[in-house]
Amino acid sequence: MVPAAYVGFLTASTQASAALIGLLFVAISLAPDRVFGRQAEAHRQAQALSAFTALANIFFISFATLIPNTPIGPIVTAIALVAVIQTLGLLALVRSWRTQGVLRRSVLLFFGSAAIYGGELALGIQLWLSPADADALSGLLQVLLGAYAVGLGRAWELLGAPRMGIIASMRELFRRHGESPAAAKPDEHSEPKA
């Protein structure tokens, strides 16, 4: 059973993840062939599956832990195990990622998702063995925030939005820094060319 101090977070998390899953369904239903059709790109399928896995994982953990007199550990362990298996299933797309030129980014996101669900699995086992472990429960809520980041990021990319994360921002900053100032802006002191 979840202590009262955690109920507010879990209630809000249940509502937010349910709303986001609904929006993900709407976004995919606008162009389902682009994501799941015969000509769909593997990275789009991975984005959709990864976003759904993250949001469904959050929803079921948040919702199930609100059930009174229910042990949290077995629930979290079972749900995390499903997320780990679904994430491992993405490895079937590696060949397509390579041919589409998105291998490095896809593998990086795969390992990030696997780390989140692996941590969730470990915390679930810890809560199973020690149900009153407040540190493990707090850790679980922090891992759920990481899962939100994965789910929202993947859904954002699925919509075709530009990547504006910290890595993309740093790359853009270095690209701009590498441009010569003369090429970017004409010199005030130079004579105009005729």
Q: Domain limits of the chain?
A: 4-180
Instruction: Answer for the pair 116, 147: CB distance below 8 angstroms, yes or no.
Output: yes
Confidence (pLDDT) at 18: 95
Confidence (pLDDT) at 133: 93
Low-confidence ranges of the chain (pLDDT < 70): 161-172, 179-194
Going by C-alpha positions, the residue among 30, 179, 194, 54 that lies closest to residue 110 is 54
Confidence (pLDDT) at 122: 97
Confidence (pLDDT) at 90: 86
Angle at the Cα of 174 from the Cα atoms of 168 and 177, rounded to 5 degrees: 140
Confidence (pLDDT) at 126: 97
Among left, alpha and beta (phi > 0; psi -120 to 50; other), residue 146 is alpha
Confidence (pLDDT) at 184: 47
Could you give the 3-state DSSP secondary structure of residue 100?
coil
Alpha-carbon dihedral 26, 28, 30, 32, rounded to 10 degrees: -140
d(CA 32, CA 115): 29
Confidence (pLDDT) at 166: 62
Instruction: Answer for the pair 27, 155: CB distance below 8 angstroms, yes or no.
Output: yes
Confidence (pLDDT) at 194: 47
